[in-house]
Structure 1
Amino acid sequence: MAELFDSYAADVEQLHRSIASHIASARNASPESRQKALREAQENVSEANELLGQMDIEVQGFPQSVRGRYATQLRELRTQIEGDHRDIRSLYSSGTPDGDTDVATPTGDAYAQRQRLLQGSATLEDGSRRLQESHRIALETEDIGAGILRDLQGQREQIEHSRDTQQVVRIAIVVVLVLLILIILYAKIF
């Protein structure tokens, strides 16, 4: 699991560098180039957010002992990408360096709908992952319960066997004592 998380983290770091490069080039570009650079940066942000969603799913599957370390790394990456997204939005809202603000912004209905779809998709994936994890835990619990029942059955048989053995030992002791008494009586009488 950690290898997959680290792979996602490396991909997000690479996307962060790519976003930073697009933002830097958008700051000094012509309106057409600026719009293209910001669009590519926004696509990278969307891709990074999808990877962050996958990383969040991976973190939920980690043992409690290491989950905190990976959750911290995930928060740091998420903060970087959110900062990139804020930079992109500020560049969209500020317009071009010469004051032309006709650059199309991704903040319209289509962008909001895309974000809702991405968020819904991530929620659905998270729900599916949790359902699969719950199913796996239920199966493991069932296996553990069956194992406990087998152990209890074995212990019950041991207890019953030891009880039967004790009964035989008691009867044998009584028989030996009765025989000894009879032998002693026989020896005293004859």
Structure 2
Amino acid sequence: MSEVFEGYERQYCDLSANLSRKCSSTSHDINLEQKQQKISEIKAGLDDADVLIRKMDLEARSLQPSVKAMLLAKLREYKSDLNNLKKEFKRLTSPTADQAAREDLLNTGRADAHLASADQRERLAMSVERINESSDRIRESRRTILETEELGVSILQDLHQQRETLLNSHKKLHGIDDAIDKSKKVLTTMSRRITRNKWIIGAVIGALLLAIVIILFYKLSH
């Protein structure tokens, strides 16, 4: 999962919890000045929450499809939570006849709204937990894929080294073949020279014998 998204997510969860507490305490606040101050703080917090939601949306859409789908599902829960906070804020700032009407609203609808908000937050927590489990499985799958890729790279490197070894052996064998061919040529040349020398020696011996015969014949005839 994106570390940037996780950073925005932590900021939003802290901000959402803080806004929920402020909305709850503001609804019971009698002091008008303090209430207006808290309402201003809640409005600023809601603006910050909107900014964080947009940042998470942009970050999620920039990631890979498998991770993006998971983060967008989580983001929908946060958007729903933010809408509930905005509804609570709208009820706090809506004009009413008097303080008694506000107290009645607190004693009736607000209790139900608070329960509904708590129930939705519980569902949100369960959804986040399921999504986190999916994230863990995705991270484990990515780790397995990376290990497989590393093993594949290692095997390819070994094959490349073996190929280089075979090529070097082939070159050496080719060099040996060339040396053998050269040796054969040298031996053939030497054999031819030996044969030629034999003929020359035979011719010389024959000439000497012929000369001796002629000399003997000449001496015997005289």
Q: Shorter-normalised TM-score: what interval? A: 0.3 to 0.5
Question: Which structure has more helix as a fraction of its residues?
Answer: 2
TM-score when scaled to structure 2?
0.42
Larger Rg: 2
TM-score when scaled to structure 1?
0.48
